[in-house]
Copies of this chain bind each other. A is one copy, B any other.
Amino acid sequence: MKTPALSRLFSPKAVAVFGSVKPGRMAGQIVTQLLEGGYLNPLVCVNPRAEAPGQYPGLPALASLDAWTEKPDLAVIAVPAEHVSGTLEACGRAGVPFAVVLSAGFAESGNQAGEERLKELARHYNIRVIGPNCAGIMHTPSRLFASIENRALPGRIAFISQSGAVGGAVLAIAGLRGIGFSTFVSYGNRADIGEVELLHHLASDPATDVVAMYLESITDGRAFLAAAAAVSREKPFIIIKAGRSRAGERAAGSHTGSLAGSDAVFTAACRQSGALRAEGIEELLDLCSAFQDLPLMQGGRLAIVTNSGGPAILTADRAEAVGLEVAEPGAPLRAALSEFLSERCSLGNPFDLTVEASGENFERALRAVLEHDYDGAIAMNVGTPFIDSRKLAEGIAAAAKDPAGGKPVAAVFMAGEMVATGARLLAERGVPLFPTGERAGAALAGLSRYASIRRRINRSYRAQPAVSAALRTRLLPFGEPVLEPELVEFLNSLDFPLPPAKFAATPEEAEAAAAGLGFPLVMKVVSPRVLHKSDRGGVLLDIRSAEQARQAFLELRKVFAGLDFRGAMLYTQLQQQIELILGVKRDSQFGPVVLLGAGGVLTEMIRDVSVRIAPLDREEADEMIDELTVRPLLEGFRGRPRADRAALAGLIVRTSELACVYPEIQELDFNPLFAGPEGCVIGDARLLRAPGAEGEESQSGLR
């Protein structure tokens, strides 16, 4: 879904700004931003009094767009909400292809009708709209600053934000840190153009090397996933997703439902699309700064070169916590370092050059560590009044801008004024500077993570929706309410591994079924009115003879006589092995998702789960197994038999496909799923049907 047209939005040949230009009013602010930012193409102010801002008396100003001789590509609309429709109509008549609507007062404040009217007009006149209720757009290559926020420095990062305020805050902090942008979009209510279209555009935008975004909600999870994967395939993609804490709160009808909360599903989407998730604004900007100025880190081995021990230890602590390896050097590197470092220096990692470190020693040490053992380095200078921070900065910059093997070097200059001249030099030379080693370590971990994503990108970051479409959907072959015998028959017909089972409607049938199945047996009541069978005494274990089976049936019939008793299911009793839970659920954003987790008593206690968006291939199923904390149990922990991993992975794949093929499945749990050396067996299954035409839910299960 390439939209090359969007490049015209960001490089308009003429712009019309609608709204009051009186001091402090929004349209005037936009005009000021455009002119101060250096926009040189034709520009006109449109407002009832045909006013231009007082400080730009010669600027064209009209009461109506019709009177303009130019044909604008872009209308920036900052009129009161009730006048937006009229303005859009005027733009439509004039054939303006793009509008950025800053005006608030639409869906965000309950005015759904106004927002619908805006959408209609946009469709009718074929105007593509950003907003309403947004803070505008910027594009530094075309010197377009059609936004009320701080003007971005020029650069090669694109930032798109669902919140104008977060966008403004990011730009303000980025400006202080020298981080520059190609593109900024605050897309507000996304009545028309939203994140999916913007991401596809940015994926192929030659002016953009890094894409960052702030997101609160998405409208179409599958489309978002495809767009995110399209970006990650080309360039680093960093996301802040707000609302993490609230996400998991909803009540759910099954374990899969509660364990695969919407935040867990979003995390799975990031993982499957190759996006990097940042926790907050500082982490986002730290990553942007690193990606802007540094090559990727092709491995996890980090060297810390410092002139002070303490802060370097804190750096090592944090670097290891975020997945890097602060490994010790080998003998050849030690030998190389000892040629020029004094015996007071530490030849271990962190490499402490001591307070006597010179710029030359920093440069030589950085070159040596990158040549020998490490994938990236942090250079730390902790200022004291005796040290000329500028000289150290020169040595560090020399090594950082021409690093051995094209590896990344980040710098940390601590202690404020004492290191200010050095810090300025590094900024001028484009060496990214972090306020603490802890944050530098986290940023380099991002470089390393994206490098590993890039290595795998052609394998597992595939376009999900295409695969999904290949699976033809079907209807469930049973009606409402779903009874256990039907669910068992359905799963058996698809070769899902259930224990041998028979349904009995009478004591005699129970006796005969038992004899046919062999012993020991489990018997479960069948009734549309009994959902939690175990809790209600509807499950009888360890039946060891046909006569016991008859007695058990009579007992169930007696207990559940008043509860629409239909009979009983008899199963061969399973030898208990490793308990897992495998399930699918239909996420409101992303559709079918798969969950694999530790089962039994561990399910709720340790929440050891892996989540993916369905369908999956074998490799992804294997990754899910690898993510489990209880994985050692499957691998023959302490001399126990090894579970059949191939059978488990195959079952995960088939379960993920089941969820795609039967859209009526809202939630389906195999809990417990027993994994053993001979394969997997479903100990119990439970199905929750998606709300039907009548909006009803229905549950059925083996339980």
Contacts and interface: CB of A to CB of B under 8 A. Distances in A.
Contact of A317 (B29, B242, B601, B633): B242
Interface string A326-355: 100000000000000000100000000001
Interface in A566-611: 601, 604-606, 608
Contact of A601 (B109, B169, B242, B633): B633
A149 interface: yes
Contact of A415 (B168, B216, B311): B168
Q: How many copies of this protein are present in the complex? A: 2
A497 interface: no
A211 to B, nearest CB: 18
A640 to B, nearest CB: 9
Nearest to A439: B282
A690 interface: no
Interface string A542-563: 0000000000000000000000
A438 B384 contact: no
A310 interface: yes
Interface string A411-423: 0001111100000
A31 interface: no
A691 interface: no
A152 to B, nearest CB: 12
Given A109-B344, A148-B384, A172-B418, A163 B311 contact: yes
A479 interface: no
A578 to B, nearest CB: 10
A150 interface: yes
Contacts of A344: 109
A256 interface: no
A470 interface: no
Given A316-B245, A384-B149, A165 B310 contact: yes
Contact of A169 (B280, B414, B606, B630): B414
Nearest to A308: B165
A187 interface: no
Interface in A625-678: 629-630, 632-633, 637-638
A104 B414 CA distance: 21
B175 A416 contact: yes
Interface string A173-197: 1011000000000000000000000
Interface of A: 24, 26, 29, 104, 109, 135, 148-150, 161-166, 168-169, 171-173, 175-176, 214, 216, 240, 242-246, 279-282, 307-311, 313-314, 316-321, 326, 344, 355, 382-386, 414-418, 435-436, 438-439, 601, 604-606, 608, 629-630, 632-633, 637-638
Closest 5 CB pairs of A and B: A163-B310, A165-B308, A172-B416, A245-B320, A242-B313
